[in-house]
Amino acid sequence: MKIITSSRLLPVFVFASLIAFADHHQEPEGNRTASSRDELTEKDALLFLQESELSLKKLSKKVNRAKWIHANFITYDTSSLVAETSAKKTAAVVRLAHEAARFNNIELSDDTRRKLEKLKLALTLPSPMDDEKNNELSGVTTQLSSLYGKGKYCRDEKSCLSLSEISATMATSRNYEELMELWTGWHEIAKPMRPLYMQEVNLTNQGAKELGYTDTGSMWRSKYDMPADDFARELEQLWRQVQPLYQSLHCHVRAKLGEIYGDERVPQDGPIPAHLLGNMWAQIWSNIYDIVAPEQADPGYDLTGLLTQHNYNELEMVKRAEKFFTSMGFAPLPDSFYERSLFTKPRDRDVQCHASAWSLDSKDDLRIKMCIRVTGKAFSIIHHELGHNFYQRAYKKQPVFYQQSANDGFHEAVGDTIALSVTPGYLQDIGLLDELPDASKDIGLLMQMALDKIAFLPFGLLVDQWRWQVFSAEITPENYNKAWWELRKKYQGVEAPVARTEEHFDPGAKYHIPGNTPYTRYFLSHILQFEFHRALCDIAGNKEAIHRCSIYNSKEAGGHLNRMLEMGSSRPWQEALATITGKHEMDASAILEYFAPLQEYLDEQNKGRQCGW
């Protein structure tokens, strides 16, 4: 999976999206059955949930269709419609969450309590009930989003570069000064965000406390079916498992960068300057593969060339990916999927080309939106996106409160689990590849994958580490930037290429901070996908190394996978995990097993080098 500014997934049901019109409906019956908190009962809670679910089901098609139309017909009017519904959304979500919070201290069944918690935790930034403060928070979040969205680096009045243009240059340039200029220029956009972010933290913490949480960070961590502090410790334990592999990769990459830029610019005993890794945030490093590639980098085949050679077009790529799932026992997608999805970029209008998976009716109206090109990368992404669609359909029978993945890391992990099975063996099985490459060719493929997936892990962890500490006031506004770079150094082993002060607000240069998108889900998905892959390979009877395994054609693996998907979020994620792995705890050892050949290669390469920072 390529990490992007927002998830590719458009869930079947996201409370923050589906109740945009809820303020037009009557207050649920359950809210009118008692005059005080002390009088509320289980019956009141059930009535409240029943009325809420009926309203939400009616709203889901309207909201999702509005978003679909906007994504496929980007005009002033469709943008305005989406903006209007978004403005109504915040107040509606806050109202329902606060109604759910009325039952906090009432004795309820486990299932009723879980549904109410799902309703409360649907909020990302809980607003205070006070209308004035709610409007203030809405204004602040809009300003932050606008500052990022309009952000550009301007050398002068006539020469301005967007982030996409900057990123394209950073991916290919090997000019130290040019990379530093672009890195520094983009980070300037975040300076005005600091006072707004301080204001946002204060307001949303008030909202979280009104809902019964210590602060917003504690509320975010409470979504994971375990005490908030225990969840934070769980993440650290997973990181400690994968840290040695990351440090080996870091050591090798630093040495190769030193050969290009010199040890004076890339000291061989310290952090790597953040602008040299081919990505604005040094979160993925695959753009510098040419610098660090092993001698045996040639994988032995070119997937893009094979697709062209076999006359694949965009639609045939999608149908081939669907056959992956039907080979595992899943029912085919409905005809409406092919009638209503967007597979190619229209010539007559602007659309959002970013790949995404949709379910518009919480049942069978499944679609993908993607401007497909006949490339090997797109072929893998299609398999990933259909993973989301099959997940969405699997939990359609669950109550609307549970129509989401077991935790927010599962959806991305399932999509990536399927993409991990796009192996040379799979390509041979479907007739694209005649002969399997020798195992010696695997190092290049594993290196390229590690530069994405292993390099990302510490960044995936630290973004929310910083935010949680900000919400809890462990990091104060006077130390926002200092603490950010301390975490970057601690986990990633990277540092800013130029001096940074508290005049700067470098966290804001990453979309998910001003965009208020939780980030831990991406760290979890990178752990879980390998755990799922290994377990499903074992179920399928795989005898090869797991990086060569594909679960294509395995009905046994498909059965186990479907049982987990059907659960949605109706049970704690630990139970969903055990459905496939047999264990209730996450375990990062599958990553180490997957990349074991690369670890051996890195150990050999790093002999005589001083690793660490």
Counting beta carbons within 10 angstroms of the beta carbon of residue 144, is it exposed (0 to 12), middle (13 to 18) or buried (19 or more)? Answer: buried
With residue 212 as reference, give the H or E element that holds it: none
Task: Tell me 488's DSSP state.
Answer: I
The pair phi, psi for residue 231, each rounded to 5°, is -65, -40
Active site residue 412: yes
- Look up residue 240 and give its two tokens: 């400690």
Which position among 388, 411, 504, 533 bears the catalytic label? 388
Rg from Cα positions in the chain: 24
**Distance (Å, rounded) from C-alpha 455 to C-alpha 510?**
17
Q: Which of 98, 512, 547, 560 is catalytic?
A: 512
Q: How far apart are CA 417 and CA 36, in angstroms?
A: 49
To 10 degrees, the CA torsion angle through 555, 557, 559, 562?
A: -130
State yes or no: is 406 an active-site residue.
no
H or E stretch covering 444: helix 442-471
Cα separation of 613 and 610, whole Å?
9
CB 286 within 8 A of CB 444: no
Residue 224 designated active-site: no
Tell me which H or E stretch contains 426: helix 424-429
Q: How far apart are CA 133 and CA 91, in angstroms?
A: 11
SS3 content of the chain, % helix, strand, coil (to 5): 60, 5, 35
**Cβ distance 480 to 502 under 8 Å?**
yes
Catalytic residue among 355, 413, 535, 588: 355
Element (H, E) at 215: none
Q: Catalytic site residue 491?
A: no
Whose tokens are 């830029």? That residue is 261
411/576 Cα distance (integer angstroms): 12
Q: What is the DSSP letter of 160?
A: E
CA atoms within 13 A on the CB side of 31: 13
CA dihedral 581, 587, 589, 594 (to 10 degrees): 60
Q: Which position among 51, 412, 495, 531 bears the catalytic label?
A: 412
Q: Which pair of tokens denotes residue 227? A: 């005490």
Instruction: Note if 526 is an active site residue.
Output: no
For residue 366, the 8-state DSSP code is E
Catalytic residue among 51, 117, 322, 385: 385
Exactly one of 395, 522, 552, 594 is catalytic; name it.
522
Q: Which of 384, 526, 533, 560 is catalytic?
A: 384
> Residues 10, 356: contact at Cβ < 8 Å?
yes
Residues 6+ positions from 313 with CB-CB distance below 8 Å: 374
Sign of the four-CA dihedral 69, 75, 78, 79: positive
Half-sphere exposure of 537 (CA within 13 A, CB side): 23
> Is position 522 annotated as part of the catalytic site?
yes
Strands (E), 64-165: 153-156, 159-161
In angstroms, the CA 439 to CA 436 distance is 9
Active-site residue, 388 included: yes
Q: Would you say 327 and 49 are in contact if contact means Cβ atoms under 8 Å apart?
A: no
The encoded tokens of residue 600 equal 């051996």
Strands (E), 91-197: 153-156, 159-161
State both tokens at 47.
């009535």
Q: Is 499 a catalytic residue?
A: no
Contact 401, 60 (CB under 8 A): no
**Residues known to be catalytic:** 354-355, 384-385, 388, 412, 512, 522
